[in-house]
Amino acid sequence: MAPKPFRAIIVGGGVGGLTLANILEQLDIDYVLLESYRDFSPQAGASIAMMPGGQRILEQLGCKQAFVEGVPSLDTTTPTVQGKPIFIFRGYNENMIKRTGHGVAFNDRQVLLRVLHDNVKDKSKLLLNKHVAKVTTTDAGAAVETKEGDVFEGDIIVGVDGIRSTVREEMWRIASKASPGYFPKDEWKRVPIEFKCLFGICRSHKRIPTGSVVTGISRGHSYLILSGPESKLYYFLFVKLPKPITADKTPRYSTEDAKALAEDHRHDAIIDDCTFGQIFDNSISFGMTPIHEHVFEKWHYGRVITLGDAAHKPNPISGHGGNGAIESVAELANQLKRRLDSLSPGARLSAEDVGSVFRDTQTVRFERAKTFVQFSHDQQDFNAPSGALGFLGIRVAPWLLSEEIMTELQLHLAVDAVRIEALPVPFHPHYIPWTDELPAKPIKHSWVPRAVVALVLLGLTYAAGYGITGVKTVPESFLGHPFRDFYTGQQGIDNLLDLLTRVFSLVVGSPSLENRLQVIYFLAILTPMVLIWMVEAHRRGNLQSILGRLVIWPSIYAVGYQIFSIARVGPIYFLATMFAGRKDMYYRQSSRVVDQDVARALLPAVSLAFVLPTICMLLPLWGAPAAWLDFMTFWQVAPVLVGPLTSFLASVIRSARLAGDKTAAAAVAATEDYAAAHGGTTVVGSVGHDELYRNIDLPHLLTAYTAAFYSAAAMHVAVAVYVLASPDASLRGVFLNLPCWPWSDGAATWSADAASTAEVAIVIFRWDFVVYAATLLVWCLHTVAEMRRVGYVRTADAWKAAVAVAASFVLVGPGAMYAATWYWREKAIASQSKMEEGEAKKVR
């Protein structure tokens, strides 16, 4: 007798169950689905959100279009307090579609159930009025007995039957007898309920136009109102319970309970003069339910597994409940398909095989499910604050939030979604890659590598100027010429410029060839740093993130390293960058982008404000000491001028561009008009900014990095060749002649107090070079490691890049190494864009 084919028993005909039925049918895996209701798509007054991850799976199954048809794009989100908008966020759905290929769609839950049901070809496997009475399992199989007297046999049982899961109860019962202690004791009694929710569908309201989302923020309760298809609104009123309860005390609410709660909140202002009473009075359907929030510790036992709300139940305010169920059943199907395909002909899944499939499914989904639940909980806490501190956070939100932050709130959840591996994924242009599209699997974030890098950077900061506290005296003249006694008329600034000029004169005008070569080399290779720090200051991700603002003030860092030395300020800058970049948002393609006009302005601004003054200061003007001193003085402020000059040139370029580009000018004007039309309410985000997704800045940035690389590399090679060919200089004498090395023989006898002022100044400059070079090497290697961590390069490619970094440090110098690393990083991030089918967005 031929062995029976594999068969799955699905319990629950909701979103998760019907999705799994569709997947198994298309993978040619046998199943039967048992639903206790009399209808697969009852009208329960509920809506459902499909996020990008859920939509991608629905599209794989051929169900997306039928679900989103007629659904308005939700592009305007308005949080309100007592009906007054605190800010307006525009362009959310448009941005999500451009970034992931899919947006967010709200529709009746009934519609999604109907679409999923209609998409199943063999409906004989979808059975109604089947109430589970008992579950039994053996090493060879599993069975479900129904209250109607039916027995269904199969290989596995999948319980997607909701938070009050009968399958989960049966699984616990079986385990309590066969494996006492396998499941946590009384876990059901630890499932928290902090809120109750009145939800419904109503006719539209003039104050909530199509495409709008309104979130009402109040003490102890909150609202979520969304426009839907066919001039409908979906509404949710979340009310915090007097005190939290647990699932074993789950209340059941009647229609009268829902009406009473609505009456209590009838006069709550939603937005402007729209009240909740007006919304509720126009209801088409409504209901009320307690809100469970929990991820169960173990989802499976033997041949039984629970998924969806039966395993992980978030607060519905975030719209991730249905999406989580869809992802979980998709991952189960992936694991199941993989294991079935590995069997030899005629073989069946053993109990060990089933256990492995279930374990791998939970491993993939567990942390993500916890993230959904925590994200939803935090969102509810923000919308229904219980104290003054919460309201303070709401009030300052408009000054802290940005388009990137608002989009990232959902984007970081979207891109990690699973897909059905055995089914094709229809292509949509999208700027941000899904995690499963990356060259390598991202590595889970760990604080240890960053802590090590941070300690090294702190150590380098400490090492800067080892053994030196400052210069005792400064020269009174330079080549017989007196120093200026007037610079700006501001005494504090003049004193600082005078001190810096006198110290620089000791080094730049040193009679020692080795000293002059070291200074020429060191100052010349600062160009890549000045350029890259200016790029980072204009990154979209840094400008639009709270922590990123730590690195958007290059002029302040420039003042710092001119006064305190680059050896001390450089590591601090990179520490700030590492702290700002600890979130994956820092590496998003949209965060990488620099304003196209700024990108065009960077190279000329750095060349005019920094490179040219550096060249002038390094000219050997032995016969013109006054001019030479003026060049030295001007160089002290040169790094500070790069930022203002960049902004000025960018504004000139922008004005010229908009004058010739009526479409771009109209988009800017439309954004300004929209903000003006909303009475001063802060408007976050915009629409129609396609340039963000076209990498317009990239060629200009790559050109700037290339110029910085070749200039620094040429200086490195030229100095190295000159020194090797000169009998009066040595590489050690130029770069490493430090009598105060802590481990050198000179450290025991050398003293800054006993040394001459000129000697101390030279040692300070050498320390600057050594620490700066070491800092850049550490940072570039850290950058390579981070690119591997986020999955943008494969492990082998990361090792090649690390070797290239180390080699370039020696062959072309630390400045060129820094520029080359940033060139590589820029291209690696930009190339992950999927704006063209079959390949990453072209990088020219």
Range(s) of the domain holding residue 403:
7-428
Beta bridge partners of 193: 245, 292
Could you report the per-residue pLDDT of 677-728, keeping only the tens digit for each? 555 555 655 545 667 888 999 999 999 999 999 999 999 999 999 888 888 8
**What are the backbone angles phi and psi of residue 347, rounded to the nearest 5°?**
-80, 155
Domain co-membership, 273 together with 342: yes
The reply to whether 402 and 509 lie within a common domain is no
In a domain, 182, yes or no: yes
pLDDT value at residue 77: 83
Other residues' Cβ atoms within 10 Å of the Cβ of residue 323: 27
Residue 167 pLDDT > 80: yes
More confident residue, 758 or 76: 76
Instruction: Answer with the residue of higher pLDDT: 317 or 547.
Output: 317
Number of neighbouring beta carbons within 10 Å of residue 689: 17
Helix (H) or strand (E) holding 246: strand 232-246
What pLDDT shows up at residue 844? 37
* Candidate from 411-420, 436-445, 535-544 with smallest mean pLDDT: 535-544
Residue with tokens 């909150």: 222
Which tens digits make up the pLDDT trace of 291-323? 999 999 999 999 999 999 999 999 999 999 999
Is residue 554 classed exposed, middle or buried when 0-12, 13-18 and 19+ CB atoms within 10 A define those classes?
buried
Over residues 462-468, mean pLDDT:
68
Looking at the structure, do residues 390 and 461 belong to the same domain, yes or no? no
| 615 located within any domain | yes
Q: How many distinct structural domains can be found in the chain?
A: 2
* 381 and 456 assigned to the same domain: no
Q: Give strand pairing partners of 262.
A: none
Residue 487 lies in a domain: no
The answer on 133 and 232 residing in a single domain is: yes
Per cent of the chain over pLDDT 70 is: 90
What is the four-CA torsion angle of 752, 754, 756, 759, rounded to 10 degrees? -40
Residue 698 included in any domain = yes
* 558 lies in the same domain as 421: no
Q: How far is CA 695 from CA 279, 301, 540, 701, 835, in A?
A: 44, 50, 12, 10, 10
Q: Nearest 5 degrees, angle CA 82-CA 86-CA 92?
A: 120
Q: Determine the angle formed by the axes of helices 757-789 and 513-524, rounding to 10 degrees.
A: 30
Question: Degrees (nearest 5) of the Cα angle 408, 413, 415?
Answer: 90
Clarify whether residues 456 and 329 are in a common domain.
no
- Confidence (pLDDT) at 672: 57
pLDDT of residue 370: 97
Mean pLDDT of all residues belonging to the chain? 89
Same domain, 407 and 455: no
pLDDT value at residue 843: 43
Side chain identity at 40, as an amino acid letter?
A: F
Residue 757 lies in a domain: yes
Q: What is the mean pLDDT of residues 618-647?
A: 91
- Summarize pLDDT for 726-768 with one digit per residue, the tens: 888 888 777 777 766 655 555 545 555 556 777 777 778 888 8
Cα end-to-end distance, the chain, whole Å: 63
Higher-pLDDT residue of 8, 835: 8
The secondary element (H helix, E strand) that includes residue 287 is strand 283-292
Q: What's the pLDDT score for residue 407?
A: 82
Contact 756, 764 (CB under 8 A): no
b/e map of 52-73 (b: 16 or more CB within 10 Å)?
A: bbbbbbbbbbebbebbbeebbb
Give the CA dihedral 491, 497, 503, 505, nearest 10 degrees. Answer: -120
CB atoms near residue 449 (< 10 Å): 14
What gap in Å lies between CA 722 and CA 731, rounded to an integer?
10
Q: How confident is the model at residue 141 (pLDDT cuts 50, 70, 90)?
A: very high
Same domain, 503 and 370: no
Stretch 182-199: mean pLDDT = 95
Residues 420 and 527 in one domain: no
Query: 390 with 511, same domain?
Result: no
Distance CA 631, CA 614 (A): 8
DSSP symbols for 152-205: EEESEEEE---TT-HHHHHHHHHHHHHSTTSSPTTGGGG-EEEEEEEEEEEE--
Amino acid identity for residue 446 in this structure:
S
pLDDT for the residue 555: 80
pTM: 0.89
Q: Give tens-digit pLDDT for 479-488.
A: 888 888 888 8
For residue range 200-228, what is the model confidence (pLDDT) as tens digits? 999 999 999 998 999 999 989 999 999 99
Q: Distance of CA 779 to CAs 175, 311, 529, 571, 735, Å? A: 52, 43, 12, 9, 20
Q: Is residue 545 part of a domain?
A: yes
pLDDT tens readout for residues 377-390: 999 998 998 776 66
Looking at per-residue pLDDT, the higher value among 820 and 768 belongs to 820
pLDDT at 677: 55
Of residues 228 and 328, which shows the higher confidence score?
328
- Which of 191-195, 422-426, 732-736 has the lowest average pLDDT? 732-736
Same domain membership, residue 180 and residue 74:
yes
CATH number at residue 126: 3.50.50.60
With a cut of 60, say whether residue 842 has pLDDT above it.
Answer: no
475 pLDDT higher than 80: no
pLDDT band at residue 178 using 50, 70 and 90 as cut-offs: very high
Residue 814 lies in a domain: yes
Give the best-scoring range by mean pLDDT among 405-414, 618-627, 811-820: 811-820
Q: Within a domain: residue 127? A: yes
Are residues 576 and 658 in contact, defined by beta-carbon separation less than 8 angstroms?
Answer: no
